Structure 1
Amino acid sequence: MKKVLVVLSAICLVGFTSCKEDATKKIDAENVAAAAERDAKANVFPVMEFDKTEHDFGEIASGTPVETVFTYKNVGEAPLVITDVKSSCGCTIPKDWSREPLAPGESGKFTVKFNGKGTNKVTKVVTVTANTKTGRETVKISAFVKPDPNAAQKANLPMAQ
């Protein structure tokens, strides 16, 4: 057992002392410059600026579909990439956003459609997932949904057999 331990120690000693080349001579100055530039850009994010962050549809009759368009601009210094746009419920549907990178200074838009379901004051949040510093931006829609005047009549109709 002692012989095995002595042999392994000797091999390790030879292995650690045989590298006489200076590691600093292996560093490439171009790689260092490229890494410094990459790291400087890592702290630069796109910034999404909306024309409006809330839209109020006002009073609408129950079941009346409405939609609005949110326009945004990339006011940051890096390309903006939107990976997803989701609403807080299935009654609100965001659509038509660009999945292509948006260069600094360029604008884009997406549509939000609300099906008009609910009662009284209804507010829905739409979350935009993008490569911004926070990773998520939000906009809101709201409406005052008036009851359908025909709903009571529809509820009192006899069922067909």
Structure 2
Amino acid sequence: MKKSLLIIGALAATISFTSCEENASKKVKAENVEAAAERDANSEKFAVMEFEEKVHDFGNIPQGERQAYTFSFTNTGDVPLVVTNVKSTCGCTVPKKPDGPIAPGEKGEIQVTYNGSGKNQVTKTITVTANTETGKERISIKAFVEPKAAE
């Protein structure tokens, strides 16, 4: 009796799994398979941010004087560059990320504004998160901030 129940249960399970496979294969769309194949083929390709200058020196600046600089770069990679985030090591430095993707061969810009706070030699690093091979690129600004005279 136990053997016959076991055999019937195994037979029922086999039939149900086989029918699920048939139904699932009917639901796969050819265009989705093609899109997945293209995506997988491109998964080895990356965008490349080639900066004209990775470090900008403002030189000597008076304390509290706002400074701005625009970092220019070219996407020398094989796929469109998508910058998802741009952040600074400090709230005194505000970067602005580019709008939309940058096609291969196209140029883009990241504007950085520094409020002139601090004293003496100052260096601020900006981290750019994008679809590059490393996933993060770094640029920086530096300046010698001349302290205000004591009043």
TM-score bracket relative to the smaller structure: 0.7 to 0.9
Is the CA contact (8 Å cut-off) linking 1:92 and 1:113 kept in structure 2? yes
Residue 8 of structure 1: how far off its partner (Å): 4.2
Instruction: Give unmatched runs, 5+ long, in structure 1.
Output: 154-161
Distance 1:99 1:12, change over 3 A: farther
Residue 135 of structure 1: how far off its partner (Å): 1.2
Is the CA contact (8 Å cut-off) linking 1:46 and 1:77 kept in structure 2? yes
CA distance in 1, matches of 2:56, 2:133: 24
Residue 39 of structure 1: how far off its partner (Å): 1.7
1:67-146 residue pairs with structure 2 within 5 A? 67-95=68-96, 97-146=97-146
> Share of identical aligned residues, percent?
47
Paired amino acid for 2:107: S
CA distance in 2, matches of 1:99, 1:60: 30
Give the match's secondary structure for 1:143.
Answer: strand
Paired amino acid for 1:86: K
TM-score by length of 2: 0.81
TM-score by length of 1: 0.77
Give the match's secondary structure for 1:63.
Answer: coil
Residue 64 of structure 1: how far off its partner (Å): 1.1
Residue 6 of structure 1: how far off its partner (Å): 4.4
Number of residues of Structure 1 aligned to a counterpart in Structure 2: 143
Partner of 2:8: 10
Is the CA contact (8 Å cut-off) linking 1:81 and 1:99 kept in structure 2? no
Instruction: Give unmatched runs, 5+ long, in structure 2.
Output: none
CA distance in 1, matches of 2:74, 2:108: 6
Is residue 55 of structure 1 aligned with residue 56 of structure 2?
Answer: yes
1:24-43 residue pairs with structure 2 within 5 A? 34=34, 35-43=36-44
Structure possessing the higher radius of gyration over alpha carbons: 1
